[in-house]
Amino acid sequence: MPVDPALRAAALESKAWPFEEARKLLARVKRTGQKQVLFETGYGPSGLPHIGTFGEVARTTMVRRAFALMSDLPTRLLCFSDDMDGMRKIPENVPDRKFLEPYLQMPLTRVPNPFGGGYESFGHHNNAMLRRFLDTFNFDYEFASATDYYAAGRFDDVLIRALEKYDDIMAVMLPTLGEERQATYSPFLPISPTSGRVLYVPMKAVNPKQGTITFADEDGTDITLDVRGGRTKLQWKPDFGMRWAALGVDFEMFGKDHQTNAPIYDRICEILGAPAPEHYVYELFLDENGQKISKSKGNGLTIDEWLTYADTNSLALFMYSKPREAKKLYFDVIPRNVDEYSQFLGAYPKQFELKDRLMNPVWHIHGGHPPAPESGNVTFALLLNLATVANTEDKAVMWAFLRRYMPDLTPESHPRLDALVGFAIRYFQDFVKPGKKYRLPTTDEAVALRDLAAALGELPEGSTPEAIQLKVYDVGRRDPYTVTQKDGSLGVAQTWFNMLYQVLLGEERGPRFGSFVALYGIANTRGLIDKAVRGELAGPV
How far, rounded to the nearest angstrom, does the alpha carbon of residue 155 sit from its chain's CA centroid?
Answer: 31
Domain that includes residue 411, residue range: 380-533
Whose CA is closest to 336, among 517, 511, 514, 495?
511
Whose CA is closest to 54, among 278, 256, 280, 301?
301
**Residue 541: pLDDT over 50:** no
**Residue 297: pLDDT over 90:** no
Q: For residues 40 and 395, give the distance between their C-alpha atoms in angstroms, rounded to a whole number.
A: 42
21 and 55 fall within a common domain: yes
In this predicted structure, what is the pLDDT of residue 44?
86
In this predicted structure, what is the pLDDT of residue 97?
86
398 and 269 fall within a common domain: no
Q: How confident is the model at residue 299 (pLDDT cuts 50, 70, 90)?
A: low
In this predicted structure, what is the pLDDT of residue 405?
81
Q: 525 near 463, Cβ under 8 Å?
A: no
3-state secondary structure of 376: coil
Classify residue 304: in a domain, yes or no.
Answer: yes
Classify residue 196: in a domain, yes or no.
Answer: no
149 and 252 fall within a common domain: yes
CATH label of the domain that carries residue 169: 3.40.50.620
- Residue-wise pLDDT tens digits, 484-531: 888 878 788 899 999 999 999 988 887 789 989 998 999 999 999 999
255 and 299 fall within a common domain: no
58 and 159 fall within a common domain: yes
Classify residue 227: in a domain, yes or no.
Answer: no
pTM: 0.88
Domain boundary among 320, 340, 365: 365
Domain boundary among 215, 250, 282: 282
Listed in sequence order, the residues at least 6 apart from 355 whose beta carbon sits closer than 8 Å to its beta carbon are 10, 13, 14
Our count of domains for the chain comes to 3
352 and 403 fall within a common domain: no
Classify residue 447: in a domain, yes or no.
Answer: yes
Classify residue 57: in a domain, yes or no.
Answer: yes
263 and 322 fall within a common domain: no
264 and 311 fall within a common domain: no
344 and 265 fall within a common domain: no
Classify residue 208: in a domain, yes or no.
Answer: no
239 and 319 fall within a common domain: no
Domain boundary among 336, 365, 394: 365
What share of the chain has pLDDT > 70, as a percent?
A: 98
3-state secondary structure of 108: helix
Whose CA is closest to 202, among 188, 212, 191, 192?
188
